[in-house]
Amino acid sequence: MTNSKIKKCRWLLAAALTMTAVAAGGCNYRLGDLHRKDVRTIAVPTWTRGRDVFRREVEIRLTEAIIKQIQNHTQFRLANTSAADTKLTGSIERISQQVLSINTDTGSVREMEVIFTVSFIWTDLRKGKVLKEKENFLASGRHIEPTPFREDFFEGSEDVINEVAKRIVEQLEEGW
């Protein structure tokens, strides 16, 4: 084998290994590269509930989930409103549920889809400019009803809340 063929084989092998590593580790990438470079800090005050949302403390749980998503998937640092570059405020406007499957033996609900309708504003506090605003933004997830698995709404909605938080933080990405 000639020297140029060996180099070509090494290059192809390196490219294949790189592609394999990217495919295998693709779920662990950080979204930080997709977010604004001019924003370093973000404040996330506790979100509010609309007057028709009767789930206790769901706004606190969603705020905590948004904060975790920001910490884990962006380069933004959390800060108090007085020291932050930007602020993300929002409200849970509605929570609705839809039956996805029924236990044919008992006739009871087996699986539900929970749909959150939220509105939020991401504001640049330095310039007083709105960076992103969404009204009636929908995000959903599924949870299993109590029978036969004994999972109540509070426990079952945790995955839904995390999915909603993920979708909200994705909205902070820079436009292409």
- CATH number of the domain at 96, please: 3.30.160.150
Residue 61 lies in a domain: yes
Domain that holds residue 35: 31-170
Residue 17 lies in a domain: no
Q: pLDDT tens digits for 27-83?
A: 444 444 677 888 999 999 999 998 888 877 899 999 999 999 999 999 999 999 999
Contacts of 49 (CB under 8 A, 6+ apart): 55, 58, 59, 91, 92
Residue 6 lies in a domain: no
Say what the pTM is. 0.73
Please provide the average confidence, as pLDDT, over all residues in the chain.
81
Calculate mean pLDDT across residues 130-157. Answer: 74
pLDDT band at 150 (very low <50, low <70, confident <90, very high): low
Of 102 and 77, which is predicted with more confidence? 77
pLDDT at 4 (0 to 100): 65
Of 110 and 101, which is predicted with more confidence? 101
What's the structural domain count of the chain? 1
Residue 176 lies in a domain: no
